[in-house]
């Protein structure tokens, strides 16, 4: 049967269905309604796809993910520890008799992707109808977003139907041709003009953004953590992998605090020699035991650099004097070919 895309109950979530089904950008509190729709349509859910790590709604947590019993797929740069399969640009996913192609479109977030299937493309918050997703969150990059839209999305056939994650005017879809001709964010704009435009938007941050990001990055519910502000996280000092490796090998190494989950710490991605493992969900409770390091330089590490930025903000708020974030996390460390322990 032909692939069908449906907006689910007016939420960010889209249902991709043919012989089997996938949920794209599921909103946690709406999962029961998604299941009702799947049952009514006699569809079998095979996977949950995420276009990026969201800041405006809660994604699946561990218990909801386990109850669904299907894998969660996100780009390799995603900081979430709940991902079952990490995706790369050009990957082709099989959904029953249909296929879905992964298009990496960083800019709104480093892990932003679009999913192309049939004559449609699901663009998340990368390309909106008459707009584009903001690029001022930590890890955002307006230049990368311009490149992704103009060099990857706008090269698709003009008739390709564009399904964004949401539209505040109540529209559901557009086409690549329409967006190329009339999207004011891109039409007639150079890369430099687009970057200037995005920097001048001055958009307010979503409600509860710090808490939502913290929960979505870690997959746990936190009620006793003082969440650092997004602006504070964005301004945190970073250290490059090779620089940190030199420091670790030196006579006065910094404290390397790894805030991933235990299974990530011992995964093939490995960990840095001498690193202390304190998962993000345990950090607030472990602060009294870590306070002896408050005068030392501390470098916080996670998979891609997002959870560690949040953890660094928590440490700074607790009085730690010198806190840095490993730029790009263990993914960047591995790309640099630096030694790890497993």
Whole-angstrom distance, CA of residue 125 vs CA of residue 163: 10
pLDDT confidence of residue 10: 64
pLDDT confidence of residue 129: 96
**Residues 320-339: pLDDT tens digits?**
999 999 999 999 999 999 99
Predicted confidence band at 306 (pLDDT cuts at 50, 70, 90)?
confident
Same domain for 251 and 113 = no
Same domain for 126 and 275 = no
For residue 131, the cross-strand partners are: 128
Same domain for 236 and 187 = no
Percent of the chain with pLDDT over 90: 75
Same domain for 59 and 190 = yes
Pairing state between β 113-117 and 120-124: antiparallel
Residue with the larger pLDDT of the pair 311 and 176: 176
CB under 8 Å to 16, separation ≥6 — which residues? 3, 4, 5, 22, 23, 24, 49, 95, 100, 115, 117, 122
Whole-angstrom distance, CA of residue 326 vs CA of residue 338: 13
The answer to whether residue 207 sits within a structural domain is no
Same domain for 257 and 189 = no
The answer to whether residue 228 sits within a structural domain is yes
The answer to whether residue 216 sits within a structural domain is no
The answer to whether residue 179 sits within a structural domain is yes
Same domain for 232 and 195 = no
Q: How far is CA 70 from CA 31, 75, 78, 94, 192, in A?
A: 13, 17, 18, 14, 42
The answer to whether residue 93 sits within a structural domain is yes
Whole-angstrom distance, CA of residue 151 vs CA of residue 216: 29
pLDDT confidence of residue 309: 87
**Residues 101-157: pLDDT tens digits?**
999 999 999 999 999 999 999 999 999 999 999 999 888 999 999 999 999 999 999
Least confident of 11-20, 68-77, 319-328: 11-20
CATH number at residue 164: 3.60.15.10
Same domain for 182 and 113 = yes
What is the average pLDDT across 229-242? 80
pLDDT at 1 over 90: no
pLDDT at 340 over 60: yes
197 burial via Cβ count (<10 Å: 0-12, 13-18, 19+): middle
pLDDT at 319 over 70: yes
Predicted confidence band at 52 (pLDDT cuts at 50, 70, 90)?
very high
CB under 8 Å to 101, separation ≥6 — which residues? 90, 91, 92, 93, 115, 116, 117
Predicted confidence band at 11 (pLDDT cuts at 50, 70, 90)?
low
The answer to whether residue 211 sits within a structural domain is no
Residue with the larger pLDDT of the pair 248 and 280: 248
Same domain for 165 and 124 = yes
Same domain for 314 and 251 = yes
Task: Collapse the DSSP code of 150 into the 3-class scheme (helix H, G, I; strand E, B; otherwise coil) and give the result.
Answer: helix
Count of structural domains, the chain: 2
Same domain for 28 and 64 = yes
If you average pLDDT over every residue of the chain, what do you get?
A: 92
pLDDT at 224 over 60: no
**pTM attached to this predicted model:** 0.86
Same domain for 314 and 270 = yes
CATH number at residue 262: 3.40.250.10
Whole-angstrom distance, CA of residue 242 vs CA of residue 335: 11
What is the average pLDDT across 203-229? 73
The answer to whether residue 206 sits within a structural domain is no
Same domain for 242 and 125 = no
pLDDT confidence of residue 12: 78
Q: In this structure, what are the phi and psi dihedrals at residue 220, rounded to the nearest 5 degrees?
A: -120, 160
Domain ranges, residue 19: 4-199
Q: In this structure, what are the phi and psi dihedrals at residue 192, rounded to the nearest 5 degrees?
A: -65, -40
């Amino acid at each position: 049967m032909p692939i069908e895309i449906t907006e689910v109950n007016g939420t960010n979530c889209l249902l991709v269905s043919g012989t089997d089904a996938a949920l794209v950008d599921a909103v946690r509190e709406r999962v029961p309604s998604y299941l009702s729709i799947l049952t009514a349509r006699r569809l079998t859910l095979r996977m949950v796809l995420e276009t990026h790590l969201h800041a405006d709604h809660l994604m699946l947590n561990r218990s909801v993910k386990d109850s669904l019993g299907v894998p969660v797929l996100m780009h390799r740069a995603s900081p979430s520890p709940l991902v079952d399969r990490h995706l790369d640009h050009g990957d082709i996913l099989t959904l029953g008799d249909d296929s879905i192609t992964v298009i990496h479109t960083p800019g709104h977030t480093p892990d932003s992707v679009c999913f192309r299937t049939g004559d449609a493309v699901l663009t998340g918050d990368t390309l909106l109808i008459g707009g584009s997703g903001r690029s001022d969150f930590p890890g955002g990059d307006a230049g990368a977003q311009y490149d992704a839209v103009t060099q990857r999305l706008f090269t698709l056939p003009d008739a390709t139907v564009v399904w964004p994650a949401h539209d505040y005017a109540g529209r559901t879809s557009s086409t690549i041709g329409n967006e190329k001709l009339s999207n004011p964010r891109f039409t007639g704009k150079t890369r430099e003009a687009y970057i200037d435009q995005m920097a001048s938007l001055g958009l307010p941050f979503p409600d509860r953004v710090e808490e939502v990001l913290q929960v979505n990055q870690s997959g746990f519910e936190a009620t006793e953590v003082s969440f650092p502000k997004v602006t504070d996280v964005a301004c945190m000092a970073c250290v490059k992998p090779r620089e940190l490796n030199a420091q670790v090998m030196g006579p006065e190494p910094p404290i390397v605090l790894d805030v991933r989950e235990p299974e990530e710490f011992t995964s093939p991605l490995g960990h840095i020699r001498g690193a202390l493992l304190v998962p993000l969900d345990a950090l607030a409770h472990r602060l009294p035991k870590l306070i002896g390091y408050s005068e030392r330089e501390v470098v916080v590490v996670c998979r891609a650099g997002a959870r560690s930025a949040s953890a660094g903000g928590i440490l700074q708020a607790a009085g730690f004097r010198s806190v840095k974030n490993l730029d790009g996390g263990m993914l960047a460390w591995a790309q640099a070919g630096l030694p790890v322990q497993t």
